[in-house]
Structure 1
């Protein structure tokens, strides 16, 4: 039985991991802020020493970009020092560690998808604090998987899909950015990929997104189509949009390593979105 510590278990990726893991094979140690503060070094080390996990998955994070800009010290405390603390435990226990990261470590100025070998150049506090977290994990542990994804949505998350649907329910029109590009990625597909990777020794940095690229506007169009909602949708620049904070304009990640090691293929973003919307309907 593999013992897996999921830090940040109530977030959308933590929830997805619990939904897809096999409880006959994996014992999940679920913690969130109520149970454990990952910024408290002693608390984290004590929990790790007592429970001795085989794998630590860091799903925690301060992800609100505006909040990060307003409170950079707290952003670094959670996104960087939290990752450092979990890495200390991983090294102490000989555990594998999964650090979830983001496309925001890049500046978004590229005209082609970013590979894992491209230089990072974050322009926001969120992106810089997440890069600092990545660096701590790489510095403290060798059995690590740093996984960057983007436009992630899942159950229970304050994400773009749920916000578009909330606006539709309220009958409000939406102005959505047509100049931001990315690959919408289901938390469930990301969770499956994480569970696959931790069963291997293929350590390193990975880009993991669903296949295909779209603008935020096209993403919103597909969400509304699948939901059978008809509201006024306006394509606008980011500065005029209702739902998009200023983020890297070109957030497209190339799953380069996954492709060259030929072990795992992510589904198309439209297929994954349909599956998620079908599950929402069933709920």
Structure 2
């Protein structure tokens, strides 16, 4: 099976391509320097030449705050870029997996959002990702939409790396404690995405490591496992203003995964443990 992975230089795309190679699949990882997904002609030319059986579309404009003031670029990448890839996928009859986000929901309430719940994004990033979902559903028959949250991986920046870096110079940190969701280790996620793309169990899925926490609880667990003494002060969203509004509730139900016979990912605390070990290996 030949699989093209967009966003190869990002956290998730990197792990998806490497996991696939380890499984003996023919993986073609592409970053923005290899292919500009907003250039329709270039996308068609490239993918018709490569002729993949499937496309896992991890590339995205993910600068949540910047997106509020740079809507055109955000839409160009997340909507037009997705449209270009989906159109050529249809023409070459390739399966298409679109990586989406918890930001398509409004973040209200305390219940976990189901795959069937009506999305209602509160910011530009979420709106653009939802528009990308709509493009995929309108154009294709063989599609997966996978909504993910709070991602951390070996390649690129993330919350875990930020906390560890800040802990080098501070012994006390203020971290938001009233936003709840599920951390997701890209190594775990990548394995599942590859398992999924091999099937024809199409549709919308929510995927993250098991269990919920706040950002403050996430930080506390990172420091506990890394054996670093840092005091974490849990603060409110209002005490940490950002350009884009963050959803307070990013909990997502993973029922569709179970219904279709896919194994849920390990608990997020277990994922943090394995990730910290992976980071140590990188340093050596």
TM-score of Structure 1 vs Structure 2, range by shorter chain: over 0.9
Could you say which residue in structure 2 is the equivalent of 1:89? 88
- Residues 176 and 243 in structure 1, CA contact (< 8 A), matched pair in contact too: no
Cα deviation, residue 215, structure 1: 0.6
Deviation sequence 1:210-229 (CA, Å, 0-9, x none):
11000110000001111121
Tell me how far apart the structure 2 counterparts of residues 101 and 263 of structure 1 sit (CA, whole Å).
19
Structure 1 residue ranges without an equivalent (≥5) = none
Structure 2 residue ranges without an equivalent (≥5) = none
Tell me how far apart the structure 1 counterparts of residues 261 and 47 of structure 2 sit (CA, whole Å).
34
Taking structure 2 as the reference length, what is the TM-score of the superposition?
0.95
State the SS of the aligned residue for 1:49. Answer: helix
- Residues 123 and 245 in structure 2, CA contact (< 8 A), matched pair in contact too: no
Tell me how far apart the structure 2 counterparts of residues 26 and 145 of structure 1 sit (CA, whole Å).
19
- Residues 150 and 185 in structure 1, CA contact (< 8 A), matched pair in contact too: yes
Cα deviation, residue 23, structure 1: 4.8
Could you say which residue in structure 2 is the equivalent of 1:163? 162
- Residues 21 and 27 in structure 2, CA contact (< 8 A), matched pair in contact too: no
Tell me how far apart the structure 2 counterparts of residues 210 and 219 of structure 1 sit (CA, whole Å).
13
Taking structure 1 as the reference length, what is the TM-score of the superposition?
0.96
Could you say which residue in structure 2 is the equivalent of 1:195? 194
Tell me how far apart the structure 2 counterparts of residues 277 and 213 of structure 1 sit (CA, whole Å).
19
> Matched residue pairs, number?
282
Deviation sequence 1:155-190 (CA, Å, 0-9, x none):
122211111111112336321011000011101111
Residue 235 of structure 1 pairs with residue 250 of structure 2: no
Q: CA RMSD in A?
A: 1.6
Superposition map of 1:1-283 within 5 A: 2-23=1-22, 25-171=24-170, 173-241=172-240, 246-283=245-282
Tell me how far apart the structure 2 counterparts of residues 186 and 24 of structure 1 sit (CA, whole Å).
19
Tell me how far apart the structure 1 counterparts of residues 171 and 14 of structure 2 sit (CA, whole Å).
29
